[in-house]
C-alpha cells in the first residue's frame, strides 16, 4: 500500500514512519511536512520517501497513493480523514479520532459507503503491560474483575508552548483528548461500552490553559468500574495498572518500553522488541508475571492485510465517554450513556 504520512512531529516520526517503512505490504511513499528541520530528518532517515510540503498535493495526486496516515494537530484529524476518504483513500487516524462522537460517526458512515478502510490509531492496545492485563482477564486469573485502575501520570510542572497547551477548545488540547483517549480505549477494549461516566477535569499548573489533570470513573455493564487518571502534575507516580478481582489482583508499575525505544531511533520488530526485564514485571497476587512483549507492529500488520485493527465503533464509544466526562466535570453529576 503506497502510503502518504501527513505530519512528522513526534507521532509521525516515532509511532508511524518506523512501522510504515518496515511492515511487509506497506511502503512509506511520501511524508507531508512544511517544516524544514523535519524535512531534513525525513530525507536523512527515509531517503526513498518523497517530501511533500502541502497536504493539498496529496489530494491532487490521490491516484498515486492507497493509504493516508493522519498525524497532524488534533483539530485537523477529522478534516484530513474526511478528505482522504472523499478522495478514495484508506485512512489511519491518530487519536483523538475526531472532535466529537457525531463527527466520528459521519466518518465511519463515509468509509462504509466508499468501501474504504478507516482505522483509529489506538496503538496502546499493543502495550506489553496492557496485553498482559488483557491476557490475565481473559484467562480468568483474577476471577471476576470489579475494579480496573489505569494511569498515565507524568511530572511536567513547566508548561511548554504548543497547540497541546492551547486553551482554545477547537485545538482539543485537553489531557482528556491526549492521554485520556488511550485510557478510555483500553477500558472499552476490556469491558465494553460504559453505562455511566463521572469525571473531574482540572487545570492545575501555573500558566496552563489546557486541562492537565483528569480522573474518570466508568461503570461497565458487568458491574466492573474503571478508574482512570491522566495528569501532568504528579510528583509521585502511582501504578500503571491495578486490577482487582474476586480471586486475585494484578499490579504493574512503569511504562511500556516501546515509546522510548522508538524515540531513540530503534528499528521496531527485531529480537527482543517490546520485552521488559524481569525487575519491571508486574505481580499477580505476590508472584511476578512476565510482561507480554509490546507489539505496536501488529497494528500496521493488520492494516497491510486490509483490516482495521481497532473498530471505528470503539473510537465512537471513546468519544462518547470523553463528551460525557466533560459534561460530568462541568455539572458535578454522573452522566448516563444511553
* pLDDT tens, the chain, 338 aa long: 999 999 999 999 999 999 999 999 999 999 999 999 999 999 999 999 999 999 999 999 999 999 999 999 999 999 999 999 999 999 999 999 999 999 999 999 999 999 999 999 999 999 999 999 999 999 999 999 999 999 999 999 999 888 888 888 889 989 999 999 999 999 999 999 999 999 999 999 999 999 999 999 999 999 999 999 999 999 999 999 999 999 999 999 999 999 999 999 999 988 999 999 999 999 999 999 999 999 999 999 999 999 999 999 999 999 999 999 999 999 999 999 97
112/83 Cα distance (integer angstroms): 15
Do 107 and 311 form a contact (C-beta atoms < 8 A)? no
46/292 Cα distance (integer angstroms): 30
Q: Decide which of 1.10.443.10, 3.20.20.70, 3.90.1150.10, 3.30.360.10 is the CATH code for 124-336.
A: 3.30.360.10
Nearest to 184 by CA among 73, 74, 95, 282: 95
Rounded to 5 degrees, φ, ψ at 266 are -70, 135
Is 81 exposed, middle or buried (CB count within 10 Å of its CB: 0-12, 13-18, 19+)? buried
Domain-by-domain residue ranges, the chain?
A: 2-121, 124-336
213/232 Cα distance (integer angstroms): 6
Give the model's pLDDT for residue 164. 84
Q: Which CATH architecture has domain 2-121?
A: 3-Layer(aba) Sandwich (3.40)
Give the model's pLDDT for residue 11. 95
Grid coordinates standing for 169? 477548545
Q: What is the pTM of this model?
A: 0.94
Give the model's pLDDT for residue 163. 83
* H/E element, 245: strand 241-245
Grid coordinates standing for 236? 509521585
Tell the residue number behind the cell numbers 513526534, with chain if given.
10
Q: Read off the DSSP letter of residue 142.
A: T
* H/E element, 225: strand 225-231
Axis crossing angle, helix 101-114 with helix 77-86, rounded to the nearest 10: 20
Amino acid at each position: 500500500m503506497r502510503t502518504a504520512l501527513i505530519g512528522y512531529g513526534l507521532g509521525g516520526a516515532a509511532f508511524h514512519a518506523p512501522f510504515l517503512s518496515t511492515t511487509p505490504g506497506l511502503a512509506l511513499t511520501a511524508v507531508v511536512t512544511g517544516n524544514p528541520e523535519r524535512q531534513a530528518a525525513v530525507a536523512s532517515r527515509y531517503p526513498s520517501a518523497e517530501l511533500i510540503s502541502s497536504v493539498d498535493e496529496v489530494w491532487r495526486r490521490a491516484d498515486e497513493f492507497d493509504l493516508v496516515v493522519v498525524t497532524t494537530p488534533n483539530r485537523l484529524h477529522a478534516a484530513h480523514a474526511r478528505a482522504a476518504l472523499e478522495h478514495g483513500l484508506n485512512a489511519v487516524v491518530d487519536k483523538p479520532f475526531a472532535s466529537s462522537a457525531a463527527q466520528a460517526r459521519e466518518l465511519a458512515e463515509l468509509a462504509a459507503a466508499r468501501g474504504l478502510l478507516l482505522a483509529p490509531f489506538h496503538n496502546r492496545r499493543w502495550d506489553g503491560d496492557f496485553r498482559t492485563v488483557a491476557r490475565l482477564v481473559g484467562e480468568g486469573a483474577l476471577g471476576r474483575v470489579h475494579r480496573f485502575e489505569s494511569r498515565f501520570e507524568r511530572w511536567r510542572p513547566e508548561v511548554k508552548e504548543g497547540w497541546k497547551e492551547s486553551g482554545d477548545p477547537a485545538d482539543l488540547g485537553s489531557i482528556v483528548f491526549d492521554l485520556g483517549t488511550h485510557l478510555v480505549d483500553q477500558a472499552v477494549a476490556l469491558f465494553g461500552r460504559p453505562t455511566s461516566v463521572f469525571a473531574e477535569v482540572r487545570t492545575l499548573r501555573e500558566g496552563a490553559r489546557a486541562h492537565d489533570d483528569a480522573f474518570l470513573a466508568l461503570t461497565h455493564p458487568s458491574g466492573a468500574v474503571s478508574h482512570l487518571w491522566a495528569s501532568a502534575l504528579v510528583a509521585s507516580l502511582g501504578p500503571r495498572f491495578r486490577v482487582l478481582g474476586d480471586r486475585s489482583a494484578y499490579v504493574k508499575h512503569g511504562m511500556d518500553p516501546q515509546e522510548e525505544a522508538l524515540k531513540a531511533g530503534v528499528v521496531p520488530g527485531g529480537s527482543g522488541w517490546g520485552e521488559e526485564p524481569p525487575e519491571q514485571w508486574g505481580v499477580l497476587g505476590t508472584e511476578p508475571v512476565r510482561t507480554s512483549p509490546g507489539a505496536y507492529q501488529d497494528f500496521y500488520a493488520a492494516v497491510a492485510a486490509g483490516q482495521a485493527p481497532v473498530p471505528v465503533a470503539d473510537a465512537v464509544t471513546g468519544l462518547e465517554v470523553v463528551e460525557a466526562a466533560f459534561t460530568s466535570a462541568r455539572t458535578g453529576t454522573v452522566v448516563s450513556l444511553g
